[in-house]
Every structure is written in C-alpha cells, then in structure tokens.
Structure 1
C-alpha cells in the first residue's frame, strides 16, 4: 500500500507514525515544502524571548530520524502543486508521486494583508522556525521600537517576549479589544496588563501600509504614523489549500478542507487533518476552524489509523485554549457571549472573583471566572478565566464538563481535589456555579 502524506509537521507525521506502526509493509512517502520536520510552532515566541535557547529544542524528530529509524521516505523542498484525483498522483515542479491513499496535512500560513510597502525589509510574520530565525537576525541591539499588528494568540505572545528582551513595543489592533475570544469587559484586564508592562496600545486603529527606504521605518495607520524598527504582522492564518481548487475536494468557505469524523474528504482515499482541515465543534454542533497543535496531532493520529483500516472517530473540540501574558494566564473553553449570540441560544452568564487556593494560606491569587449557560436547559456553554495562578487546572475541568455536555449545576457535584495549598473547600468554578 502506497501512502502519501503532504506536510511534515504535527498532523502529517502523527499520521505517518501510526501507519508505520500498524502496517509493517506500508510504503510511506511524506512531502514537505520546507526543510524541517515535526517542530513545535507554539514554542516560537519563546525562542524570541530567550526562554527557549535554541530552535533545535523545538524539533521533536528530525528528517533523518524518520528516514533511518522508521523507514519513511521523508522528502524536503517538495511543494505539491497539483493533485490528480482520477489517476491518484500528486506532483510539483520536478516530481510526481503515485498514491493508494493520500493525506493532506499542509497546515496554514500567516495572512499578510495587501498593505502598501509590505515588501520592505524588517516586516515579519511568524509561523516557521525559518521565519523566527529571520526575525531574530533583525532584532539587533540597535532595534528599539517594535510594532506588533494583531492582538490574537501570536500577537500577545510576541508582545510579551519582545518586552522580555527589552524592546519598546506598540500593539496595533483594528478593533476595540485584544483577544477577541474573550468577552469585551474581561479583555480590559488584558489591556491593563499590557499597559503595566510598558506596552503602547493602539486600539480601534487600522493599518494602511508601511514607509521606509528599503527597510521599514514607520507603520502607517488611519490615525497617523508609528515609528518602527521592526514590524511583526500577526493578523491570523489561512489554510494552505489553494492547490486543491480544481480537484473537486469540498472546502469550507474559509478554504479549509471539509472532513468527517474519520478525517475523510468527499473524494475516496483522500483524507485531511490539522490546520488545513475543519474540526467538529461539540458545543456549536457543526464544523468549525480552530487551528491548534492539539487538534492537529489528534486528527493526524486518527487519520493514520483510518488509512490502515483501524477506524476511530475524531470526537471533536470544545474550543479550549490557554495563553500566558506577562503575569496573567488567559484561558477559555466553549463559547464566549459573542459566539453564543451568533448561535442564537438563550443564555445567562455568571461571573465572580475568587482565589486560587484557601484564603488563609499564604499568597493566594485572585482569578476572575465567567460561566455561560443555556437559560432553558442549564447546559454549560462556555467558560473564561483570567488570573495569575490556578487557571490551567480549572479550565481543564470546564473543558471536560463541556465535552460531556454537563449542566452548570452539575459542576457543584464534582469531587475535586482540595487541600489549602491547592484549593479552597469549594473550588472557584463550583463557587461560580452556585451563584447562578
């Protein structure tokens, strides 16, 4: 059986490893457009901040390991430009490979809006190790002013790590709040945290272009010019699927490949997984697009199992994410108020300020918790938590509750761990549920 995988990162190589483990006779070919396999994209901002000391630390397995230890024909600098679904082959500028089963795991690429001057040197996007190394080469000691455009995951993480290396940072966001996955009033805590670390926030400001002689010197917005020695554009990503336009493979309106619970596309023997594919959202009850490494690894593993005839369904996502931003941890799962309103569900929210541990134990930290629930059924719809400590374990409890479609009142009945150094006798999420 000839298995071909397009893409050599999380989803692609998770699938490849399942195939070689389950099918000893498998012939697996992986086609990666770059030169680096299986690396931790989520660690790239911390490479900039010096918390991760080397890009080599972010590589889980190098290409030689896949070739020599696992017998995978792992190719580099192989960009697939066409898929022939009738004759079952893929091709690029100077190669062609036939397949029996094909997995598309091409990921996503940063969006660079068509702004004037975007080709100037010193303007960067962050998605690969090469991207990050190019940015680091520009972040010399002479560089003082860095402008980050976009207040999502990558933008916030880059801001923190740039401050860590003593850069003066301006963050430009065209909307009224950073981190739009949170409710607007909770986002004020994020704004305050940014300002307390010397970050200049430019909200409700739209970028129009860039100025400079060969190298960027200013970001041009609808409100004026912002001095910039280096610029980082973090305005989102788009699925790498443009090469599939003439294949008949069904795509989501945003370009992601539509897949079912078994990672199958509408074309027989073609599968997709990771940031180029859709994910089923268990709360919304429909396909969504939430490109995260956790989803990519799970979807890739399932795709590999399905391809070798050991089907296991992907159970979907509930929209869980977590982010460190200076001294705060920002976490959410399920739906925000804004998303619930789009879904049209009747809902209520309950919000409290609580402590991560027993109040009498030394150094308790405050956290703000918001739960959203269905007014008629009391089914939990989402949770948001912002605080300095203990946020991560609470969000995982809420994610588990959402996965199992629990009602908000059932949170009170959970048997959660308690000892004064770790919790109060009533966990903060149980305290919140009791206030409904």
Structure 2
C-alpha cells in the first residue's frame, strides 16, 4: 500500500508513525514544503526568550530519523501544487531544483497545516518584519534580536502575540502591542479580558486597542508602524494576526472546504474525495458543544487527528470525538484558561444561557500562599448543562480548567459538578473546589 502524506509536522508525522505501527508493509512518502519535521511549534516563544535553552529541544525527530530508522521517503523543500483524485497522483515542485515531480498514492493525507496571515499592507517586505510559525522563523527572529533592537511592535493580541509580548519583555525590549479590536485575547469575554489588560499594564506593555495597522515604512529596514490613528517608531515587528489553512493548492480538485478554506472531514478524517484524508490545522474540527464543524487550530488537536487519520488509512477504524476549544496561555504572572463556549459565542448561537462568576482562593483560605482565581461559568438555562468556562489566575487554573473540560466532554450539568469526588488537601484546594462552589450557587 502506497501512503502519501503532504506535511511533515504534527498531524502528518503522527499519522505516518501510526501507519508505520499498523501496516508492516506500508510504503510511506512524506512531502514537506519546509526543511524541518516533527517539532513543537508551541514551544517556539520560549526558545526565543531562553526559557528553553536550544531550538533543538523542541524537535521530536529530525527528518533523518524517519528515513533511516523508519524507512520512510521523507522529503524536504517539496511543494505540492495539485492533486489528481481520479488517477490518484500528487503533483509538485522540488524547491531545491525547480523541477516538477509526481507521486502515485493508494491513500493520501493532507496535513499541510496553516500559514500566518500577512496582509497586503505597504512595506511588509521590509527587513525586520517577522512571523512566527517554523524553526526557520524562530532562527530569523533570534538572529535579528541584537542589542540595537530596543523596541518591538507586535501586531495582534492572540496566543502568539501575548506569549511573544512576554518573551520580548523578558529580553529587555520595550513592547507595543497593537490590536484592531477593543480587547486582546478575543477568545475570552470582555470582562475576563480586562484582567489581561491589567496584567499588561503592570508589566509595562504598551497596548494600543481599537487601532488597525495600515502599513510600515523605513529605508530597507522597518522603523515605523502606521495605523489608522497614529504612527509608532519601532526597531522590529512581529505579525501575529492569525493563520489560514494552507489549502490553496486544492482549488479545482473538487474537495469540499469550509468558508475559511479548511478541509471538511468526517469523524474518520475522510474528505469528500475517495482515499483522501485530512488532519491538523488545515482540517475542520467537530465542536462538541456547538454541534457543528469548527476550525480551531491547536497542537493537541493536530496530533490527535493525525493519529486517527493514520489509523484509518491503515485499516484500523478510529473516530475523532471532537473538540471543546480548550486552551491555556501563560501571560507573565497569569495563567489564562478557557474551554467550551464563551458568553459571546453562546449569545451568537442563540443558546438560552446563564452565567456564574466568582473570585475564589486557589487553595484552602487558611493555608499560606493562596492566590485569587477569577472564574466564569456558562451553562444552559433550561437543561443546566455546562456550556463553557473561563479561568484566570496565578495558581490552580490548569487543575480547574481540565476538570471543566472533562465535565463538558461528558455533557455534565452544573449540578453534576457538585457531586464529583475531587482531590482536597489545604495546600491544593478547599473542601469545596471553586467549580463546585459555582455549581452550588447555580
């Protein structure tokens, strides 16, 4: 059986290894546009600020390992340009030589991931303007961050924007963060985002909210960021305004995409075309609370979908059970966590919902060292079924977030929270966990 995988990072190589373990006779070809395989993109901000000592530390396996140990035809600098689904052939260009190639397949996986959005603004081709997605991007930023760089401007206040604001500040840079909307972290409701704004202010991050970047200027290298309201001097720019699924090459193939270009897949990661699968940032995710196909690119989802796609391709039927959009971010001294629906999403989807908010101690009040947790719980007004939640604080956020995600996965109600047998000892919790306190109030 000839397996071809387009994309050699999280989803692609999770699938490749699952095929390798399941089908002993598999012939696996991997076509990767870049130079690097199987690395942890989520760790890149922490390499830049030195928390992770070496870039190599985020690499799970180098391409040579897949070739020599697992016998895969793992290629680099190979860009796929088209797919013939009828004859089951992949076409592409070898970026090292400029020559075209074609590879036949029995089963094909599209795991091309997503690319950072770079708008058609004036001056985006100037030196000193970066995106962060790959090992090569990371090396470029690190080489550019010499002592002459005093001020950095970040465009976008999502995951990468917030994490990199901390990284640049840790390196002693002055940081301005420009966000088109009225808040950073738009996956949080505005009342919770205020806590993030306060932390940014405490750490001397210069937030510019409600401003839209329109271009950049400079003599070969960027020195000015232009918005619809002002101009700001800077030494380096990071564009972190989001990503789009890398699926442009699929135009004309007949494969079904969602409005944002992500490949539509079923629970077996199958696409609308026979023998073609998709997984990771370029594919849709079924949202368990919304009950619709969504697109929330996260590393956890990419690895799960890749494993499931590989198993199905190799004849071991597994189903992807869906997502909740669970995510957690470190932002200086705060941990920011959310799962399920925000209040804004519940309102947009016309869910009849109720909200509980509370401030609680991260552990027993009489035990020293406690920190305040800010919690927000959204649940269905009629069924009392949990819909989502957001938690921000310095300690104990991850513990409650994962409990809430598990409760959402199993469609529990606010009343069910009260009955769960959670761990308790004064250094870790009170006798009533904050989530259970909220369940009792509800």
The reply to whether TM is greater than 0.5 is yes
Q: RMSD of the alignment, in Å?
A: 0.6
- Extract structure 1 runs of 4+ deviating beyond 4 A: none
SS of corresponding position for 1:213: coil
The aligned runs of 1:83-232 (5 Å cut-off) are 83-93=83-93, 94-232=100-238
CA distance in 2, matches of 1:434, 1:45: 40
Q: In structure 1, what is the equivalent of residue 439 of structure 2?
A: 433
Q: In structure 1, what is the equivalent of residue 369 of structure 2?
A: 363
1:277 to 278, 283, 287: 283
Q: Deviations over 1:20-61 (max 9, x none)?
A: 111110100000011110000000111111111111111001
SS of corresponding position for 1:81: strand
CA distance in 1, matches of 2:430, 2:71: 52
Q: In structure 1, what is the equivalent of residue 96 of structure 2?
A: none
TM-score, normalised via structure 1 length: 0.99
CA distance in 1, matches of 2:343, 2:120: 32
Q: 1:407 Cα deviation (Å)?
A: 0.6
Q: 1:423 Cα deviation (Å)?
A: 0.5
SS of corresponding position for 2:74: strand
CA distance in 2, matches of 1:228, 1:83: 44
Q: In structure 1, what is the equivalent of residue 330 of structure 2?
A: 324
CA distance in 2, matches of 1:158, 1:430: 34
SS of corresponding position for 1:363: coil
CA distance in 2, matches of 1:433, 1:187: 23
The aligned runs of 1:232-311 (5 Å cut-off) are 232-311=238-317
**Matched residue pairs, number?**
436
CA distance in 1, matches of 2:346, 2:102: 47
Instruction: Determine whether 1:333 maps to 2:339.
Output: yes
CA distance in 1, matches of 2:128, 2:349: 41
Q: Deviations over 1:274-310 (max 9, x none)?
A: 0000000000000000100100000000001100111
Q: In structure 1, what is the equivalent of residue 17 of structure 2?
A: 17
CA distance in 1, matches of 2:74, 2:175: 40
Q: 1:402 Cα deviation (Å)?
A: 0.4
Q: 1:138 Cα deviation (Å)?
A: 1.0
CA distance in 2, matches of 1:246, 1:333: 36
2:427 to 421, 424, 428: 421
Which 5+ residue runs of structure 2 have no aligned equivalent? Answer: 94-99
Q: 1:92 Cα deviation (Å)?
A: 1.0
Instruction: Determine whether 1:66 maps to 2:66.
Output: yes
CA distance in 2, matches of 1:342, 1:311: 35
CA distance in 2, matches of 1:75, 1:183: 43
SS of corresponding position for 2:169: helix
Q: 1:376 Cα deviation (Å)?
A: 0.8
CA distance in 2, matches of 1:177, 1:138: 29
CA distance in 1, matches of 2:258, 2:133: 22
CA distance in 2, matches of 1:380, 1:319: 14
Q: In structure 1, what is the equivalent of residue 80 of structure 2?
A: 80
CA distance in 1, matches of 2:343, 2:228: 30
SS of corresponding position for 1:324: strand
Q: In structure 2, what is the equivalent of residue 36 of structure 1?
A: 36
Q: Deviations over 1:70-91 (max 9, x none)?
A: 1111111111111111110111
SS of corresponding position for 2:80: coil
Q: 1:421 Cα deviation (Å)?
A: 0.7
Q: 1:433 Cα deviation (Å)?
A: 1.6
Q: Deviations over 1:183-207 (max 9, x none)?
A: 1011011001011111101001111
CA distance in 1, matches of 2:10, 2:309: 12
CA distance in 1, matches of 2:122, 2:152: 19
CA distance in 2, matches of 1:60, 1:226: 40
Q: 1:378 Cα deviation (Å)?
A: 0.5
TM-score, normalised via structure 2 length: 0.98
Q: 1:393 Cα deviation (Å)?
A: 0.8
CA distance in 2, matches of 1:228, 1:81: 38
Q: In structure 2, what is the equivalent of residue 412 of structure 1?
A: 418
